[in-house]
Amino acid sequence: MNSAEVTAAFRAAVARERKDALATGVPIFYRDSATGLNVMEQPGGGKFEIRWVPGAPRDRNCEVWRELDRSAAWRRSDSADPQISGERRKLQH
């Protein structure tokens, strides 16, 4: 197999596992490579930006920061959006 075939097989396997996890009612967590956001995707279709809580117990190690609509979830970067950037600054203080 060449690297393109390996990449295609890997992507197909990830897509199957994602679909299976959501179908069984398990949320999935990932870092969106297009936006750099940490995302929690719920079985019902909701997507949320999350923040990891270092040192917290496993069942409470993330906080939901905001719900992502389809455009926010796929936007390359929201750093140009003054409202979102301002919200991040407030949360960091």
- Count the domains in the chain: 1
Q: Which domain holds residue 35?
A: 25-92
The encoded tokens of residue 59 equal 């069942």
Predicted local distance difference test score (pLDDT) of residue 71: 61
Predicted local distance difference test score (pLDDT) of residue 89: 39
DSSP assigned state of 24: T
Taking the whole predicted model, whether its pTM rises above 0.85 is answered as no
Q: Are 84 and 65 in contact (CB under 8 A)?
A: no
Domain membership flag for residue 52: yes
Domain membership flag for residue 63: yes
Which three-class secondary structure state does DSSP give residue 25? coil
Predicted local distance difference test score (pLDDT) of residue 13: 96
The closest alpha carbon to 79, from 40, 39, 35, 49, belongs to 35
pLDDT along the chain (93 residues), means of 10: 92 95 96 93 94 93 90 47 42 40
Predicted local distance difference test score (pLDDT) of residue 91: 44
Predicted local distance difference test score (pLDDT) of residue 59: 87
3-state secondary structure 26-82: CCEEEECCCCCCEEEECCCCCEEEEEECCCCCHHHCEEEEEEECHHHHHCCCCCCCH
